[in-house]
Structure 1
Amino acid sequence: MVDSNFPAPLCGVDEAGRGPLAGPVVAAAVILPARQIPAGINDSKKLTEKTRARLYAEIRACAVVGIGVVEPEEIDRLNIYWATMKAMTLAVDAVTAALGQAPAHVLVDGNRLPRWDYSATPIVGGDAKSLAIGAASIIAKHRRDTLMIAAAELYPAYGWASNKGYGSAAHLAALREHGPTPLHRRSFAPVAQCDLAL
């Protein structure tokens, strides 16, 4: 893990939800404690839903956590890249507010950084190379999944409890039959095509 190469307090940042057709993009920023870090932190995509839920609770109990959420309407206005950068900035700003100072350094999963004043390093595949980024990936994914499961109760036809807003066959079929909801990203091609067809 690369975390020990950077000064403390070290903040890891990752996002969930760049690719779905519906729902927000969610970023998390996490500063883990120096000791007694929860066991099993890894890239959230390599963990089961049950394990993510357990680690989410354990990380929230011991770490400084910030979450940034950008909703579909703003994703359409900014585009998904800039919406993701905004979500990351909101997440680190929340950590800074909780700490009362900026983190000494921020590690961001990926190859790009938001336009901010934080000392930061992008790390491709960072959720598997940094415990702080791995923790952030778990927080972001679990929070976004929870939001989409709740949204599925309002719009049950689209199968969001299982597909989390991604373009599964069932989701695309429901889009064609029922059209987009307010939670759909109308700038994304499959949604825009359904808009035009209606």
Structure 2
Amino acid sequence: MDEVGRGALAGPVTVGVVLIDETCRSAPQGVRDSKLLQPHAREAMVPRIERWALCHAVGHASAAEIDDIGIIAALRLAGTRALAACGVRPDLVILDGNHDWLTAPEDVGLLAFAHESAVTTPPVTTMIKADLKCSSVAAASVLAKVTRDRIMVELGGHEEHAVYDWVGNKGYAAPEHMDALRVRGPSVWHRRSWRLPGTMDDDGPVPETAETTVTDLTSVGER
């Protein structure tokens, strides 16, 4: 599994999962960390990854959910949604980095808080630079990156969001995005708990909010 969008100012955090076992042939040639691939190369890699894996899925947690429960819990929520979409419980999950964000603390009923059925978390191991060392993690990174980029490009194509240039920056803190926040303030797709420019805590009031759901994100990505 791998995530993308953790450090963005707008849009969802997205987790990709790719399941393989000993019956799977060698990974598609060129699978590597999605950040090292050009966008067209990532897009071309997706169908090859989907044919290679036993199962694959992508899960999201929206900006509103990030505001409600925090980024780490939102990562966990997106990850459990991706696992649930696969419908197969793996024997082991490999996460990039040195932090297990997938396993919920025993004293926190996260999924109950999110009004979703409990998903038993499989065993997790972490690996530094797993997206460079492990083909399945690299493949999950590609799926997550491509899916989230599609969402941000479509959202950025709407007239009311064009000022933020999400087509170019995908919701991250690029200069033009920050300038637009100072002038326009945040949209309903922004993570408002992050003290963004243009909020009441900075230099202006927060515009009225609208509830953002995972269904919204899924439908955007599929159009």
Pick the TM interval, shorter chain.
0.7 to 0.9
**How many residues align structurally?**
180
Q: CA deviation at 1:37?
A: 2.7
Query: For structure 1, which segment, 63-72 or 52-61, has the greater mean C-alpha deviation from structure 2 after superposition?
Result: 52-61
Q: CA deviation at 1:177?
A: 1.1
CA distance in 1 between partners of 2:83 and 2:124 (Å): 11
Match of 1:179 in 2: 185
Letter in 2 for 1:19: G
Residues 111 and 36 of structure 1: CA distance in aligned 2, closer, same or farther (over 3 Å): closer
1:120 to 100, 119, 124: 124
Match of 1:107 in 2: 94
Q: Deviations over 1:141-161 (max 9, x none)?
A: 111101000000121111000
Structure richer in helix, relative to its length: 1
Aligned partner of residue 193 in structure 2, secondary structure:
coil
Q: Deviations over 1:7-26 (max 9, x none)?
A: xxxxxx00000001100000
Q: CA deviation at 1:58?
A: 1.6
Q: 5+ unaligned residues in a row in structure 2: which ranges?
A: 105-119, 205-223
Match of 1:4 in 2: none
Q: CA deviation at 1:181?
A: 0.4
Q: What is the correspondence of 1:55-134 to structure 2 with a 5 Å cutoff?
A: 55-63=45-53, 64-95=55-86, 97=87, 101-113=88-100, 114=102, 115=104, 117-134=121-138
CA distance in 2 between partners of 1:36 and 1:107 (Å): 18
CA distance in 2 between partners of 1:49 and 1:66 (Å): 19
Aligned partner of residue 21 in structure 1, secondary structure:
coil
TM-score by length of 1: 0.86
CA distance in 2 between partners of 1:122 and 1:17 (Å): 19
Q: Deviations over 1:67-101 (max 9, x none)?
A: 11000000001111111121112112222x1xxx4
Aligned partner of residue 18 in structure 1, secondary structure:
coil
Aligned partner of residue 41 in structure 1, secondary structure:
coil
Q: CA deviation at 1:36?
A: 5.0
CA distance in 1 between partners of 2:121 and 2:164 (Å): 40
Residues 112 and 89 of structure 1: CA distance in aligned 2, closer, same or farther (over 3 Å): farther
Match of 1:153 in 2: 157
Letter in 2 for 1:25: V
Q: Deviations over 1:140-189 (max 9, x none)?
A: 01111010000001211110001000011100111111111000000113
Query: For structure 1, which segment, 36-45 or 158-167, has the greater mean C-alpha deviation from structure 2 after superposition?
Result: 36-45
Aligned partner of residue 157 in structure 2, secondary structure:
helix
Aligned partner of residue 195 in structure 1, secondary structure:
coil
CA distance in 2 between partners of 1:109 and 1:89 (Å): 16
Task: Using CA pairs under 8 Å that are at least 6 residues apart, name the structure with larger relative contact order, 1 or 2.
Answer: 1
Letter in 2 for 1:151: L
Q: 5+ unaligned residues in a row in structure 1: which ranges?
A: 1-12
Q: Which runs of 4+ in 1 moved over 3 A?
A: none
Match of 1:40 in 2: 30
Letter in 1 for 2:36: K
Aligned partner of residue 194 in structure 1, secondary structure:
coil
2:175 to 169, 172, 176: 169
Q: CA deviation at 1:137?
A: 0.5
Aligned partner of residue 54 in structure 1, secondary structure:
helix
CA RMSD across the alignment: 1.4
Q: Deviations over 1:129-148 (max 9, x none)?
A: 11000000000011110100
CA distance in 2 between partners of 1:19 and 1:122 (Å): 20
